[in-house]
Amino acid sequence: MKPQKGTNFFHLHLHLLLFCFCLRFCIARNIITSTNFITDPSTLLSESSLFELGFFSPVNTTSRYVGIWLNQGSKLTVVWVANRDNPLNHTSGVFTISKDGNLVVLDGKSNILWTSNILNPTINSTALLLDSGNLILQDSVSGMILWESFKHPSDTFFPAMKIFTNTRTKEKIGLTSWESPSNPSKGRFFFGIDVLNNIAEVYIWEGSDLRWRSGPWNGQSFIGIPQMDSVYYLLGFSLVIENQTYYLSGPNRNELLNYEFYQLTSQGNFEQSHWDDTLKDWKPRWSALKTPCDFYGTCGAFGICDPKSFPVCSCLKGFQPKNEEEWNQGNWGSGCLRKTSLKCEKVKNVSVEHGKEDGFLKVGTVNLPHFAESLNSSVSAEDCGVKCSDDCSCSAYAYESGIGCMLWSGDLIDARKLDFGGATFYLRLTYSELENATKRSKVIVIASVIAGSGSLIIIFIIFVSWRRIIGQKAKEEIRKGKKTILLKERRKFLNLVMDHRMGINMNQELPTYDFEKLAIATNNFHLDNKLGKGGFGPVYKGRLVDGQEIAIKRLSRASNQGVEEFINEVTVISKLQHRNLVRLFGYCVEGEEKMLIYDGYMSPEYAMGGRFSEKSDVFSFGVLLLEIISGKKNSSFYHDEDVLSLLELAWNLWNEENLISFIDPTIYDSRHHKEILRCIHVGLLCVQEAMKDRPNMVTVLSMLNSEIIDLYPPKQPGFSGMQLDSNTHLSQQSEDKYSVNMVTITKLGGR
């Protein structure tokens, strides 16, 4: 049947209406105006859909923030946050342009939670999200940029961005970490540029404390980051000086924007990530903090850190540990002292001084020490050495193209050995301590005796060469000896593992962890990460590079325990019926270091005292029960300022009589309200700090099945961030000594 004319007219109007609507919608989704804004949960995409802007909630929280994230990869990677210190507690937020032309985040009552805060805004402004990741606010008429997110960064740096410092006004623009993975508010770590004595470096600060430094900028790269010379890493970065302002920017090439970015993590590491086209996800490529040597000042004054040595710290030639006992225990912070006073120092105190002049030892392939003074670039390399030699307070000098002459007065801090690249400095030593000086004196003495005798000279040359070869072989044997001792320790440990785990499935190899990886995971075993200590030694919380939360038991040297006691830890855990609850991730054996790595589920009496019983499994079950109810991992509260763990959160809410907020909204059902609360109550009873207070598993089952109707109130849980209960007897050791753990090898039967 032939269609009616009126019908065609209606269809035409309908198509035109839909086309206009879609056109308006598509345009609106690329820009923000005062009438075209974003409401939660709608979003805005950049032109090529590389970035997305809208409202989001971080992991383990329902708080809402306005942010920009990468529209690639399997997980939400947020790169900028507007209202990071002022979240919304509901989903009624609005991101728009106010009447005065500022970008604003509003709550449901139109209260301003965040503003771009332009002093002279225009009413004709629009916002646009660019494919570089930059959110710009511009004048609609002139196109002039009024404000941009790149000049107000959060924790992420893109190649097209600039971070800077002004040496006159002291203004700094840099990256500020999130407080935690669940909290984007400003954390305690800051990444930025600083200029000291005309030398520019980039730093990571933890509050006012220096955490990491890049080494000086030499016009091409930062000396302490030799990877900057590699096309796969940081090639193309530049540092420009304009009007006393130092700008650091990355390679401004569009093809790189899809493939890399840099982020200051909430744990204080600066990491580079790139797009892996095979995995279709973002993958870490480089990080600032990889070894203990990367932490600022690890070896103290006149110490040098080499991540490939064991131990990593040693004193520079001519120096010795300031505190031998601390140094041998792996605490190198007090640094080193000069063994013999310099001649120029003696001249100051004694009227006549005999002997040779001080000299300089070449120290190469290093990140230069901190606090150098840069002289005028017109000073030559030769004159640089003369200037240091003439000044008794000068302890070292270096000459680097792009910087010029650098002098160090007083202590040398943060010298670090590099695998390649780096720079060279010359350390002032007494004449007697210089190898060349010793060899030169021998040559002079012997040459004077055998002068005129050609055959004896040949014999002498052979003798010197032979001595040199012997010396090198001796050093090599010492180096091999250290490695042999380390290998023997590990072999002994593995043999004991095999002996004690007979009959246990060995298909899954127990992984080993490098000491340096565990040092990074715990911020160099920082006191802030110390959970406590017991007979075995201290226990630290940590986070591995892949984000896995761990607990590390570090054998105390003062505990008088050896490999036999250490292996008993592995034996007990291996034979547990519920080893999926108390999981041993691996171990570390390096020199005198013996550590076990576990899943923040360990009961306190086991973590601190090495004691295990049925009640320890009850503790693990209670943690698991509380995790299921809350939908949160006990380990997800790492570096959280409010609570240390899920257990402390549950305990606080119990005391506040507010357990409803503990329940995961996805499982909450008012019809089963009492049953869920009962499960929380049982979970808290299971994780009580003292073993004697916890029910056994038979009682737990009766409680969950309501066979036991009346439940007694729980006491404080273990690992709640407060002092241990005195009846656990875990805190009776002094602050300075650890007790001897009298654990014996035990055979466990089924329960």
Tens digit of each residue's pLDDT (9 = 90 or more) over 456-510: 455 455 555 555 655 565 555 555 555 555 555 455 554 444 443 333 333 345 6
Say whether pLDDT at 426 is over 70: yes
Residue 528 or 106, more confident = 106
Q: In what order do the strands lie in the sheet with 270-276?
A: 156-157, 260-264, 270-276, 281-287
Contact yes or no for 509/524 (Cβ under 8 A): no
Q: Can you tell me the mean pLDDT for 299-328? A: 93
List, in order, residues 6 or more apart from 188 with CB less than 8 Å away. 177, 179, 206, 207, 268
Q: How far apart are CA 322 and CA 480, in angstroms?
A: 27
What is the residue type of 738?
A: Y
* Residue 449: predicted pLDDT: 39
Predicted confidence at residue 9, as pLDDT, reads: 42
φ and ψ at 428, to 5 degrees? -75, 125
Model confidence pLDDT, tens digit, residues 338-356: 998 888 876 655 544 556 7
pLDDT tens figures, 521-566? 888 888 878 877 665 678 888 888 767 778 888 876 555 555 555 6
The residue among 251, 292, 307 whose CA lies nearest residue 419 is 307
Q: What is the pLDDT of residues 141-150, one digit of tens each?
A: 888 999 999 9
Burial of 392 (0-12, 13-18, 19+ CB in 10 A): middle
pLDDT of residue 446: 40
Q: Which amino acid is at 201?
A: E
Does residue 611 surpass a pLDDT of 60? no
d(CA 78, CA 68): 6
Which of 238-247, 592-601, 656-665 is predicted least confidently? 592-601
433, 339 Cβ separation under 8 angstroms: yes
- 723 pLDDT exceeds 70? no
Buried b (16+ CB within 10 A) or exposed e, 161-173: bbbbbbbeeeeeb
The pTM score is 0.62
Task: Identify which of 598, 649, 597 has the alpha carbon closest to the alpha carbon of residue 620.
Answer: 598
Angle, helices 697-704 vs 673-686, to 10°: value is 170
Per-residue pLDDT of 399-425, as tens digits, reads 998 899 999 998 999 999 998 899 999
The structure tokens listed for 366 are: 């290093």
Question: Which H, E and C letters describe 67-96, residue by residue?
Answer: EEEECCCCCCCEEEECCCCCCECCCCCEEE
- Residue 751: per-residue pLDDT: 32
Q: Is the pLDDT of residue 204 over 80?
A: yes
**H-helix segments, 591-631:** 604-609, 614-630
* Confidence tier at 607 by pLDDT (50, 70, 90): low
Q: Per-residue pLDDT for 742 more than 70? A: no
pLDDT confidence of residue 437 = 44
Which pLDDT belongs to residue 728?
A: 36
Tens-digit pLDDT profile for residues 699-717 = 898 888 888 888 889 998 8
For 189-210, what is the mean pLDDT? 94
Which residue matches tokens 């010396």? 471
Contact 246, 163 (CB under 8 A): no
